[in-house]
Amino acid sequence: MRLSGPKDIEWIAAELHCHTVHSDGRFTVESLLECAKRYDLSLIALTDHNTAAGVTELSPALESKYVPVIRGIEWTAYYGHMLVLDADRFVDWRDVTKDGMDEKIREVKENGGLVGIAHPFSVGSPICTGCCWEYTVSRWDLVDYIEVWSVGFPSIHRGRNQRAVDMWQSLLDEGYHIAASYGKDWHFEVDEKEPWGCTYIAVNGSDSDLPHKVKDAIRMGRTMVSMGPRPVVVAHAEGMEILPGDTVREGSDVSLSVMIDGDYRSEQWSKYGFVPESAKVIGRFGAVIAKIDLDGFNPAEIVFKAKKGHFRVVFSGYVMDKDCEIAFTSPYYVNSSEEKQ
């Protein structure tokens, strides 16, 4: 069964956090791209620690043979790791102080880059230097995304992941618009014993110039985070189809057709035994606005009234016989009726 909306949108699978031999990965640039294609990913972001040297190896020929690439870097600073995608020029990470990250983020944004906070609750120094986010940020309005799920089986290994989701949720509750991403933090290919995820990103139209389309989509908040399968959410409000990142008015009737796509990239995840059980609409402060049981990979309908703040769709079920979350969308935002659109 397929669900499709009127918008000419395709949700593609991307891995937004990758390393190569240019930092501490074992992938060469080409082997990373080859692996990404084999894993049915449509795009990757190359984000080596503190270097963009890998980017000099990219070419249109290489990218068309394998997958297109967003040029990036992972700021591997002393009190946090930050993903910077497609900035027009290098912004120096070396002199950032614990209180100085706002200024750096502003500089990256002024140069056209996207800013994402990587694995904010990983174990930090000295076990993993700078891996836990400890920078003071007040300009969360400039942050495009947070890597709320990372590495293997994120909804079971809750330590860093649940804390990251909670942090994201409270920023959303404060009124910030921030997309979510998954990061495999890919360094080399391993025989995966546990499911791993990807970020699904909504892009318009054809495959041409995918990196820029993906960049725009992340900026607009059009992402979904999954442990593998692609969620499908066709949302309508105020007579229009809406996507994550869009804003509707408080009190609007929202109708959702939701399902987990049982076919897309199934070679990558079906071996882990996914059984979708429910879809929930989560609002401000984690309130459950609506919930519906799912019959496996079949679609279901949810109708509710938009409440002020934001809402997102969360899919749960069983994976490897464990009761856990499977995927979720980035938020849809809700303006209170007095506010102008």
CA atoms of 135 and 82, how far apart (whole Å): 10
Can residue 312 be called a binding residue for Zn ion (CB under 5 A)? no
Count of residues binding Zn ion (CB under 5 A)? Answer: 4
Binds other proteins by CB under 8 A, chosen from 9, 53, 171, 275: 53
Distances (CA, A) of 218 to 81, 135, 263: 19, 23, 24
- Residue type at 296 in one-letter notation: G
Residues 92-151 close enough to bind other proteins by CB under 8 A: 92, 94-95, 121-127, 129-130, 132
Using the minimum distance from each CB to other proteins, give the nearer residue, 23 or 278: 23
Can residue 162 be called a binding residue for other proteins (CB under 8 A)? yes
Residues 177-196 close enough to bind Zn ion by CB under 5 A: 185
Can residue 81 be called a binding residue for Zn ion (CB under 5 A)? yes
For the bound state, the minimum distance from the C-beta of residue 83 to Zn ion, rounded and expressed in Å, comes to 8
163 makes contact, choosing from Zn ion, other proteins, none, with CB < 5 to 8 Å by partner type, with other proteins
No. of helices (H) and no. of strands (E), the chain: 6, 19
Residue with tokens 């003071």: 136
302 makes contact, choosing from other proteins, Zn ion, none, with CB < 5 to 8 Å by partner type, with none
Using the minimum distance from each CB to other proteins, give the nearer residue, 168 or 311: 168
Residues 220-279 close enough to bind Zn ion by CB under 5 A: none
Using the minimum distance from each CB to Zn ion, give the nearer residue, 45 or 214: 45
Q: Are 133 and 117 in contact (CB under 8 A)?
A: yes
**Phi-psi label, residue 110: left if phi above 0, alpha if psi -120 to 50, beta otherwise:** alpha
Can residue 163 be called a binding residue for other proteins (CB under 8 A)? yes
For the bound state, the minimum distance from the C-beta of residue 40 to other proteins, rounded and expressed in Å, comes to 28
**Which of 120-159 are b and which e, b meaning 16 or more Cβ less than 10 Å from the residue's Cβ?**
bbbebeeeeebbbbebebeebebbbbbbbbbbbbbbbeee
Using the minimum distance from each CB to Zn ion, give the nearer residue, 117 or 217: 117
Torsion of CA 129, 133, 137, 142, to 10 degrees: 100
CA atoms of 124 and 204, how far apart (whole Å): 38
Residues that bind Zn ion (CB under 5 A): 74, 81, 118, 185
Residues that bind other proteins (CB under 8 A): 20-24, 48-53, 56, 76, 78-79, 90, 92, 94-95, 121-127, 129-130, 132, 158-160, 162-163
